[in-house]
Amino acid sequence: MTRIVPFPLALIVTVLTTHPAGADPVGAALFQQNCARCHGAEGAGGDAAEPDIRGAGVTALSRAFGGLNRMPSFAFSESQVRALAEYLSTVAD
């Protein structure tokens, strides 16, 4: 008799294991939606002016979110800033 792995269970396991260990899915989503177009897919910097922001902490992020030169300002909640810092710590070298 053939054993059949229930499909939905297999799918859930796949979804849960596609994230790199420790990555924060909330921070990752915020990053992809708001930052990746300038700072690159994993925060390593854009083609020229956008700095590498991997490993940026809450303090550096809060300062940058007030708006810099070409960096636009953002109105994130405290927990969103923490989620972004958490995500950036997981992509840091």
Q: Which of 24, 28, 35, 42 binds ligand HEC (CB under 6 A)?
A: 35
**Does 29 interact with ligand HEC (rule: CB under 6 A)?**
no
| DSSP structure class, residue 2 | -
Per-residue tokens: 39 = 């700072």
Q: Which is nearer to ligand HEC, 13 or 37 (CB)?
A: 37
**Does 56 interact with ligand HEC (rule: CB under 6 A)?**
yes
The stretch among 1-9, 10-18, 20-28, 45-53 that binds ligand HEC (CB under 6 A) is 45-53
d(CA 26, CA 51) in angstroms, rounded, equals 22
d(CA 69, CA 41) in angstroms, rounded, equals 21
